[in-house]
Amino acid sequence: MAGMISPMEIDGADQPPKPNKGKSAVIVSSDGKATPWVEKYRPQSLADVAAHRDIVDTIDRLTNENRLPHLLLYGPPGTGKTSTILAVARKLYGAQFHNMILELNASDDRGINVVRQQIQDFASTQSFSFGGKSSVKLVLLDEADAMTKDAQFALRRVIERYTKNTRFALICNHVNKVIPALQSRCTRFRFAPLDASHVRERLKHVIEAEGLDVAESGLAALVRLSNGDMRKALNIFQSTHMASQHITEEAVYLCTGNPMPKDIEQICYWLLNESFSTSFKRIFEINTRKGLALVDIVREVTMFIFRIKMPSDVRVHLINDLADIEYRLSFGCNDKLQLGSLVASFTRARSSMVAAA
């Protein structure tokens, strides 16, 4: 996952490259072209973190006052949780980064033995004070919801014992997978999905820095498809950029394989107006020609149904049917049959609309 970064990569270009102790590092070619944009444009300081102003300001203040509590940051992916903690660490330790932080994420073994040994060893050794700055160490447990329950229980005691010179920062997507005992030992912050304006602003920053040619419609498509996940936005953006020079709406959709809004409109038109067999044939044809996934179509059509006018009891049934189709598709049921089911649901909805009229 892109959220993982080893300490080697962190402190920027001014440092000579250090030998890599077996952890994977992002390979940077001389012109920097190979760097994934998610790493290249990772916020370096707290001020760079877009959105979540209140959270970031609070953490910033606590850091300044040397009163950093144990932290639990949670929320959907790509909202800046890891970046925020790394920025805090950079602010606290500067060049001493490597000595003062122990970072473990889901790809490291974090069973109960690691909690008992590695984390305790790190937490229990005294740290030197650098330049009068705080000497608390930081243990960063990324993707903490993937830790076993046993390890979490063991961690509970460790957190308490070493509070004097160590702070723990837990990061996770699903806060309910972290045991309550750990939650109550930390200050919780929820990172909501970024709103469209922040994603747009951040993308504009990248456009400027890279000197790219991006159509307004392309930018809007990136923002729409990202759904508030900045990592997703940057990844789609970079792969579209690699595929085509001009980043237009069409290029973005082509790159992700998502159905274009105008295709969805066309499909909905067929579903609402054509006979069963014509609808089925046309949708099947456009699906094969454009290589669309039926599950994407079902999701988008559902959004479309929310927007158009129809009697509410018809809408209720229709949406329920679509939800069933989506559920079945997620188990890998036959696409052609499910497409039949989609057209059938609309046929039924139309007859009940006629009956109601």
Ligand X SMILES: Nc1ncnc2c1ncn2[C@@H]1O[C@H](COP(=O)(O)OP(=O)(O)O)[C@@H](O)[C@H]1O
Footprint of ligand X on residues 157-196 (CB under 6 A)? 191, 194
Q: In terms of Cα–Cα distance, which of 103, 110, 106 is closest to 152?
A: 110
Q: Are 113 and 211 in contact (CB under 8 A)?
A: no
38 belongs to the binding site for ligand X (CB under 6 A): yes
Question: Applying CB under 5 A, which residues contact Mg ion?
Answer: 3, 82
110 belongs to the binding site for ligand X (CB under 6 A): no
Report the residue from 49, 119, 123, 222 that binds ligand X according to the rule CB under 6 A.
Answer: 49
231 belongs to the binding site for ligand X (CB under 6 A): yes
Q: What are the phi and psi torsion angles at 291 (to 5°)? A: 60, 40
CB of 81 vs ligand X, minimal distance in Å: 3
Q: What are the phi and psi torsion angles at 109 (to 5°)? A: -70, 125
The gap from C-alpha 210 to its chain's centroid, in whole angstroms, comes to 23
CB of 191 vs ligand X, minimal distance in Å: 6
Nearer to ligand X by C-beta: 209 or 356?
209
Give the interface segment with ligand X, choosing from 41-49, 61-69, 278-286, 300-308 (CB under 6 A): 41-49
79 belongs to the binding site for ligand X (CB under 6 A): yes
55 belongs to the binding site for ligand X (CB under 6 A): no
The gap from C-alpha 280 to its chain's centroid, in whole angstroms, comes to 35
Build a one-symbol-per-residue string for 191-210: x at contacts with ligand X by CB under 6 A, - elsewhere. x--x-------x--------
DSSP-derived letter for residue 188 is: E
Q: In terms of Cα–Cα distance, which of 38, 39, 48 is closest to 201?
A: 48
Nearer to ligand X by C-beta: 51 or 339?
51
Nearer to ligand X by C-beta: 86 or 329?
86
CB of 274 vs ligand X, minimal distance in Å: 43
CB of 249 vs ligand X, minimal distance in Å: 22
Q: In terms of Cα–Cα distance, which of 112, 122, 173, 102 is closest to 147?
A: 112
Q: Are 130 and 91 in contact (CB under 8 A)?
A: no
Rounded to an integer, what distance in angstroms lies between the CA atom of residue 257 and that of residue 300? Answer: 13
Nearer to Mg ion by C-beta: 79 or 287?
79
141 belongs to the binding site for ligand X (CB under 6 A): no
3 belongs to the binding site for ligand X (CB under 6 A): yes
Strands 137-141 and 166-172: parallel
Nearer to Mg ion by C-beta: 80 or 218?
80
Give the interface segment with ligand X, choosing from 27-35, 59-67, 71-79, 265-273 (CB under 6 A): 71-79
CB of 12 vs Mg ion, minimal distance in Å: 19
Contacts of 289 (CB under 8 A, 6+ apart): none
Rounded to an integer, what distance in angstroms lies between the CA atom of residue 239 and that of residue 256? Answer: 9
Q: Are 134 and 164 in contact (CB under 8 A)?
A: no
Nearer to ligand X by C-beta: 234 or 314?
234
Q: In terms of Cα–Cα distance, which of 192, 177, 189 is closest to 69?
A: 189
Rounded to an integer, what distance in angstroms lies between the CA atom of residue 179 and that of residue 144? Answer: 10
Report the residue from 55, 60, 80, 222 that binds ligand X according to the rule CB under 6 A.
Answer: 80
Nearer to ligand X by C-beta: 39 or 108?
39
Let me know the angle formed at the C-alpha of 74 by 70 and 80, rounded to the nearest 5 degrees. 100
Q: What are the phi and psi torsion angles at 140 (to 5°)? A: -105, 115
Nearer to ligand X by C-beta: 3 or 259?
3
What are the residues binding ligand X (CB under 6 A)?
3, 38-39, 41-43, 49-51, 77-83, 191, 194, 202, 230-231, 234
